[in-house]
Amino acid sequence: MPVSNSQLSQMFEHVLTLSKVTPNESVAILKSHYSDQRTVAAAFDAAQRLGAKVYGVELPAFNAPKAMGNDLTAYCGDTPLTGNPAAQRALEAADLIIDTMMLLHSPEQEQILKTGTRILLAVEPPEVLARMLPSLEDKARVQAAEKVLQTAKSMHITSAAGSDFRMDLGQYPTVTEYGFADEPGRWDHWPSGFLFSWPNEGSANGTLVIDKGDILLPFKMYCRESITLEVENGFITGIKGGFEAEYLRDYMKYFDDPEVYGISHVGWGLQPRAQWTAMGLHDKNDGMCMDARAFDGNFLFSTGPNTEVGGTRKTPCHMDIPLRNCTVIVDELTVVNEGKVVAPTDSIG
């Protein structure tokens, strides 16, 4: 059901409070013409209610020559902030940036975070923001899983559909998303509720089966048939199946870049209020579909860039692919069993 403007402002005040915004801080609202104007207005209102010094930074839209569609994740790297050092300095001056425009996967965002500025991305429809309003319990649940993943040396994924996929871990850090930015230099996304890391370079091998009902992002498409991905030494070497496999092959081939086939981040969903069915109730231009990325018990893997954690793959094509009904084993611990989160159970510590 629709969210009122008053409710949206109250929700932002809740999230900014969790993000530790105080009257001594400055909050920048980053926006463009395609930003949700209700979200922008609510962010301004909430920051003012908390006594923060709030200001706006508006940038013109940027359309990359190879970008297809309007999804904000369909082209990575260049953003409206690229080549605009004056705007970047204005953003670095803030204690917290509320990003309604999308800087993700850009070097400018990484540089801003290094200054200690916090960033909170908010680009989903207000109704999705309301259903997955973050809480301290969400943070505790994700941080409990983080204790397992950040010391892990391996991950193994299997499924009845035929997935059998292994990798080594430890070269790259663990990243958590729980919906608010409460520490210096932290980036987070409202809504969310999951965690991930990256395979050690060259270590990911095996088979990933995208089964019926699994989701391809940024296509925002439920698969109606199975697609089999063959992975060797960290890269997809085969995409087999019917029409949907052909569609995926041609899309990735379009970028004419071998690095689009690299396995990027891997992890699992921990948000019980996210639903894999929710995507079917929204237009494809409604946000990024964070339900698909965060629903409890998914195995989420991605392809393409890894520069945000110090890797070398800077490529514009980035896909997120959440799979259902998988078993995820981290070292010797089963954390997801056939699509159900089973460990860690310490969700309050």
Indicate the residue among 67, 95, 123 that finishes a domain. Answer: 123
The whole-model pTM stands at 0.95
Q: Does residue 119 sit in the same domain as residue 139?
A: no
Indicate the residue among 97, 123, 149 that finishes a domain. Answer: 123
Q: Does residue 151 sit in the same domain as residue 239?
A: yes
Give the tens place of pLDDT for each residue, 220-264.
Answer: 999 999 999 999 999 999 999 999 999 999 999 999 999 999 999
- Residue 128 in any domain: the answer is no
Q: Does residue 206 sit in the same domain as residue 116?
A: no
Domain containing 37 equals 5-123
Q: Does residue 138 sit in the same domain as residue 54?
A: no
- Residue 129 in any domain: the answer is no
Cα angle value 59/130/74 (rounded, 5°): 45
Q: Does residue 203 sit in the same domain as residue 151?
A: yes
- Residue 347 in any domain: the answer is no
Q: Does residue 33 sit in the same domain as residue 74?
A: yes
- Residue 346 in any domain: the answer is no
So what's the pLDDT on residue 107?
87
Indicate the residue among 90, 123, 156 that finishes a domain. Answer: 123
- Residue 23 in any domain: the answer is yes
So what's the pLDDT on residue 63?
79
CA dihedral (331, 337, 341, 343) positive or negative? negative
Q: Does residue 109 sit in the same domain as residue 151?
A: no
So what's the pLDDT on residue 345?
63
- Residue 57 in any domain: the answer is yes
CA of residue 258 relative to chain centroid, distance: 23
Number of domains in the chain: 2
Low pLDDT (below 70) residues in the chain: 345-349
Q: Does residue 25 sit in the same domain as residue 91?
A: yes
- Residue 90 in any domain: the answer is yes
Q: Does residue 334 sit in the same domain as residue 249?
A: yes
- Residue 106 in any domain: the answer is yes
80: domain CATH number is 3.40.50.980
Q: Does residue 176 sit in the same domain as residue 313?
A: yes
So what's the pLDDT on residue 329?
98
Give the tens place of pLDDT for each residue, 10-19.
Answer: 999 999 999 9
Encode the chain in three state secondary structure.
CCCCHHHHHHHHHHHHHHCCCCCCCEEEEEECCCCCHHHHHHHHHHHHHCCCEEEEEECCCCCCCCCCCCCCCCCCCCCCCCCCHHHHHHHHCCCEEEECCCCCCCHHHHHHHHCCCEEEECCCCHHHHHHCCCCHHHHHHHHHHHHHHCCCCEEEEEECCCCEEEEECCCCCCEEECCCCCCCCCEEECCCCEEEECCCCCCCEEEEEECCCCEEECCCEECCCCEEEEEECCEEEEEEECHHHHHHHHHHHHCCCHHHHEEEEEEEECECCCCCCHHHHCCCCCCCCHHHHHECCCEEEEECCCHHHCCCCCCCCCEEEEECCEEEEECCEEEEECCEECCCCCCCC
Name the burial class of residue 35, with classes exposed (0-12), middle (13-18) and buried (19+) by CB atoms within 10 angstroms of its CB: buried
Q: Does residue 80 sit in the same domain as residue 11?
A: yes
Q: Does residue 170 sit in the same domain as residue 275?
A: yes
